[in-house]
Structure 1
Amino acid sequence: MKYRTLGKSGLKVSVVGVGTWQFGGEWGRNYVQSEVDAILGRAQELGINLIDTAECYGDHLSESLIGESIQGNRDKWILATKFGHQFHNPFERTDAFRAEDIVKQLDLSLRALKTDYIDLYQFHSGPDAAFDQDALWTTLDKQVQAGKVLHLGISIGSNENIHQTSRAASVNASAIQVVYNRLDRKPEREVFPACEADNLGVLARVPLASGLLSGKYKPGASFAANDVRSRRDREQLEAQMLEVEAIRRDEVPAGTDMAAWALAWCLKHPAVTSVIPGCKDVAQVEANAAAVALVEEGHPQDA
């Protein structure tokens, strides 16, 4: 495994992390504790030390499964979670960005994760009006002072949200999370230059384009009703699958696993600290970690 420094936080994170939205039950299956234990156990063996989750992945369900799994070796992990949404039912949430909401959510996250601190606590894809509340960030600073949060981050909803990115330093955030992959390069225009200028770490989410860059899906593929991908625009999805076919043909070297190539492609950008792909089983953890072999030395954030 390779490691990089996550911006001003100073955290040394593995270049491949574990995204855990799937543990919340919105990606076509439900998970039991033994499955999560196996996934995270193998991830740790492979040198992965970063887990990204959120309070709204199944109303703290993902966090609870993670907390149970790592409670014996919490110190081996960098835990990143998020706040700002109240889960009601699958694919149904409401915003909860008031200062009083945050304290409640944080305490519930700490309880679910079976820990007394969060390494990276992230504003979760909220609107600019919610982001611009001084009371919100004052409250979060108090949680940092209390030791319940070590570092603050911002998970931007739009991958072109320069408003929140450019104000990260002023709210004491040290990392930006953003959608970035070979099919979606929008952050390269403004977000990444801003991150580099302000020494903000970058967590690239959806680096496999919701699995499309895994090489598994062909044009015409469909998804079950309980899979979040079934809710996407069908024409756009089909167009992306066709683009993936072209990328596989024209860009991926012969004999190279497409998923590993796609993750390494993200990690080449000088602004990107780590990718946080989801993984449905141990085999996918291993496939994700294998991308490290394609990651070149000499990145500006190398730890």
Structure 2
Amino acid sequence: MKYRTLGKTGLDVSVIGLGTWQFGGEWGQDYTQLEVDDIFEKARETGINLIDTAECYGDHLSEEFIGRAIEKDRDQWVLATKFGHQFHGLYERTRHFKPEEVQQQLEDSLRSLRTDYIDLYQLHSGVGEEFDNDKLWTMLDKQVKEGKIRHIGLSIGKNDNIYQTNKSSEIGSEAIQVVYNRLDRTPEEEVFPSCEDQNLGVLARVPMASGYLSGKYKPGATFAENDVRHRHDQEETRRKLATVAELEKNEVPEGVPMAQWALAWCLKHPAVTCVIPGCKNPEQVESNAKAAELEMVKTNHPQATV
């Protein structure tokens, strides 16, 4: 495993992280604690140390699984979670960004994660007054001073949200989480340059484009009703999978699994600190971790035409 410093946080994180939305039950599978424990045991073996979760992956369900899985060695992990939403059922959320609501979410997350502190606490796709709220950031700064939060970050909902990115340092944010993958390179235009200027860590989420870049799915693939991809626009999905087939033919080196190539491709960009792919089993964790070994030269990533 390789490690990079997460911007101005000073935290050394594995370049391959562990995304955990799937533990909330919205990716076609429900989990047992034993299954989650096995995933984390494999993460330990491979050197992965960054976990990304959220309060609304289930009603703190993902956090609860994680809390039990890492309780024995909590200090060995960089634990990132998010705030701003409440889970009410499959794909049903309400928004809660008022300072008192977020403070309660923080306490609930600490309890679910069985920890006294969160390494990176991220605003989860907040917009408008949800973001532009001095009282919120004052409250969170107080939590930092009390030691319940070590660092604040932004998980931006739109991957061209340059307004929030530019204001990160002003409101105390030290990291940006953003959608970035071979099919969606929008952050390269403005978000990444701003992150580099401010020395913000970057967590690239959806690095395999919701699994479409895994190489497992061909045009015409369908998904179960309890899989979030069932809700994606079918024509858009068809178009993406057709593009993936072209990428596999023209860009993926022979003998390299496409999923590993997709992760390593993201890590080529100098702004990216860590990718946070999801995983459904220990085998996928091990495969993801191997992407750190691929030697892919860093580049400024000129825009492609596909």
Could you state the TM-score of these two structures normalised by the residue count of structure 1?
A: 0.97
Equivalent positions of 1:152-167 (< 5 A) are 152-167=152-167
1:129 CA displacement: 2.1
Residue aligning to 1:118 = 118
Residue aligning to 2:83 = 83
Residue aligning to 1:225 = 225
1:90 CA displacement: 1.0
1:298 CA displacement: 7.8
Equivalent positions of 1:28-39 (< 5 A) are 28-39=28-39
SS class of match (1:16): coil
Q: Separation in 2 of the partners of 1:213 and 1:65? A: 27
SS class of match (1:73): helix
Cα distance change on mapping 1:296 and 1:237 into 2, 3 Å: closer
Residue aligning to 1:262 = 262
Aligned residues: CA RMSD: 1.0
Residue aligning to 1:273 = 273
Residue aligning to 1:72 = 72
Residue aligning to 1:173 = 173
Cα distance change on mapping 1:120 and 1:93 into 2, 3 Å: same
Q: Separation in 2 of the partners of 1:159 and 1:298? A: 21
Equivalent positions of 1:195-214 (< 5 A) are 195-214=195-214
Q: Separation in 1 of the partners of 2:159 and 2:297? A: 27
Amino acid of the structure 1 residue aligned with 2:53: T
Equivalent positions of 1:24-103 (< 5 A) are 24-103=24-103
1:295 CA displacement: 4.0
Residue aligning to 1:5 = 5
Equivalent positions of 1:120-139 (< 5 A) are 120-139=120-139
- Residue deviations 1:109-158 (CA, integer Å, cap 9, x gap): 00000000000000001113210000010000000011000000000000
Q: Separation in 2 of the partners of 1:198 and 1:293? A: 28
Cα distance change on mapping 1:111 and 1:295 into 2, 3 Å: farther
Instruction: Structure 1: give runs of 5+ residues left out of the alignment.
Output: none
CA contact (8 A) 1:6 1:201 kept: yes
Residue aligning to 1:252 = 252
Amino acid of the structure 2 residue aligned with 1:143: Q
1:196 CA displacement: 0.4
Q: Separation in 1 of the partners of 2:292 and 2:86? A: 35
Residue aligning to 2:302 = none
SS class of match (1:88): strand
Q: Separation in 2 of the partners of 1:297 and 1:270? A: 10
Pair 1:106-2:116 in alignment: no
Cα distance change on mapping 1:295 and 1:13 into 2, 3 Å: farther
Could you state the TM-score of these two structures normalised by the residue count of structure 2?
A: 0.96
Residue aligning to 1:151 = 151
Amino acid of the structure 2 residue aligned with 1:81: T
CA contact (8 A) 1:18 1:279 kept: yes
Cα distance change on mapping 1:203 and 1:264 into 2, 3 Å: same
- Residue deviations 1:59-111 (CA, integer Å, cap 9, x gap): 10000000001100001100000000011111000110000001100000000
Instruction: Structure 2: give runs of 5+ residues left out of the alignment.
Output: 300-306
Residue aligning to 2:240 = 240
- Which runs of structure 1 show a deviation greater than 6 angstroms over 4 or more consecutive aligned residues? none
Residue aligning to 2:303 = none
Residue aligning to 1:141 = 141
CA contact (8 A) 1:28 1:227 kept: yes
CA contact (8 A) 2:269 2:298 kept: no
Amino acid of the structure 2 residue aligned with 1:31: Y
Q: Separation in 2 of the partners of 1:203 and 1:123? A: 13
Q: Separation in 2 of the partners of 1:189 and 1:180? A: 12
1:297 CA displacement: 7.9
SS class of match (2:72): coil
SS class of match (1:71): helix
